[in-house]
Amino acid sequence: MPDRNQVVPRASSLESLLLPGHWARMVWGYVERQNMSRLYAGIKAVEGGPGRPAIAPEILFALWLFATWEGVGSARRLEQLTGEDDAYRGICGGVDVNYHTLADFRHEVEAMDELLTDSISSLMAAGAVKLKAVAQDGMRVRASAGAASFRREDKLKDHLETARKRVAQLKAYVDDPVGESPRKQAAQRRAAEEREAYLEAALARLPELAAIKKKPGQKPEDARRSTTDAEATVMKMGDGGFRPVYHIEFGRDTASQVIVGVDVVTTGSDMGQMVPMVEQVVDRCGRAPDDWLMDGGFPAHDQMDSVTTPTRVMAPVPKPKAKKTTTDETAGHEAAGDVSVTPKVAVDPHQRKPGDSTAVGDWRERMGTDEAKALDKARAATAECVNAQARNLGLVLLPVRGVTFPRQSRGLSICEPLKAAKQGR
**Full-model pTM:** 0.74
Residue 399 domain-assigned (yes or no)? yes
Strand pairing class (291-293; 323-324): unpaired
Give the pLDDT band of residue 77 (cuts 50, 70, 90).
very high
Pair 32, 162 in one domain = no
pLDDT > 90: percent of the chain: 6
Examine the fold and report which residue of 226, 251, 279 is the final residue of a domain before the chain moves on.
Answer: 226
For residue 81, pLDDT over 90 is answered with yes
Evaluate whether residue 374 is within a structural domain: yes
Say how far apart CA 116 and CA 258 lie, in whole Å.
Answer: 11
CA–CA distance, 327 with 343 (Å, rounded to integer) = 9
Domains: count for the chain: 3
Does residue 360 fall inside a structural domain? no
Judge if 206 and 301 occupy the same domain. Answer: no
Q: Among residues 176, 202, 226, which one ends one of the domains?
A: 226
One domain for residues 22 and 90: yes
My answer on whether 126 and 211 are in the same domain is no
Q: Which residue has the higher pLDDT, 9 or 385?
A: 385
Looking at the structure, tell me whether residues 52 and 187 fall in a common domain: no
pLDDT band at 98 (very low <50, low <70, confident <90, very high): very high
- Domain assignment of residue 7, yes or no: no
- Please indicate, yes or no, if residue 339 is contained in any of the structural domains: no
Cβ 46 vs Cβ 53: under 8 Å: no
- Asked if residue 84 belongs to a domain, the reply is yes
Q: What is the mean pLDDT of residues 133-151?
A: 86
Q: Are residues 32 and 174 in the same domain?
A: no
Within this chain, do residues 288 and 372 fall inside the same structural domain, yes or no? yes
C-alpha pair distances (Å), 262 with each of 113, 205, 257, 337, 412: 9, 23, 13, 55, 10
Check: CB of residue 294 under 8 Å from CB of residue 375. Answer: no
In this prediction, residue 329 carries a pLDDT of: 52
Q: Which of 206, 226, 246 is the last residue of a domain?
A: 226
* Mean residue pLDDT across the chain: 79
Three-state SS for 403?
coil
The verdict on 116 and 242 lying in the same domain is yes
**Read out DSSP for 144-197?**
SS-GGGEE-HHHHHHHHHHHHHHHHHHHHGGG-TTSS-HHHHHHHHHHHHHHHH
User: Looking at the structure, do residues 161 and 292 belong to the same domain, yes or no?
Assistant: no
Same domain, 138 and 175: no
Domain for residue 38, yes or no? yes
pLDDT of residue 220: 56
Kindly tell me if the per-residue pLDDT of 9 is higher than 60.
yes
**CATH number of the domain enclosing 119:** 3.30.420
For residue 88, what are the domain limits? 14-105
User: 134 and 24 in one domain?
Assistant: no
pLDDT tier for residue 16 given thresholds of 50, 70 and 90? confident
Separation between Cα atoms, residue 36 and residue 38, nearest integer Å: 6
Whether residue 323 lies inside any domain: the answer is no
Asked if 303 and 395 sit in the same domain, the reply is yes
What does the alpha-carbon distance between residue 350 and residue 86 come to, in Å, rounded to a whole number?
59
Q: What is the pLDDT of residues 181-215, one digit of tens each?
A: 777 878 888 888 888 887 888 787 777 777 766 66
Q: Taking Cα atoms as reference points, which of 425, 396, 395, 423 lies closest to residue 408?
A: 395
Look at residue 97 and tell me whether its pLDDT is greater than 80.
yes
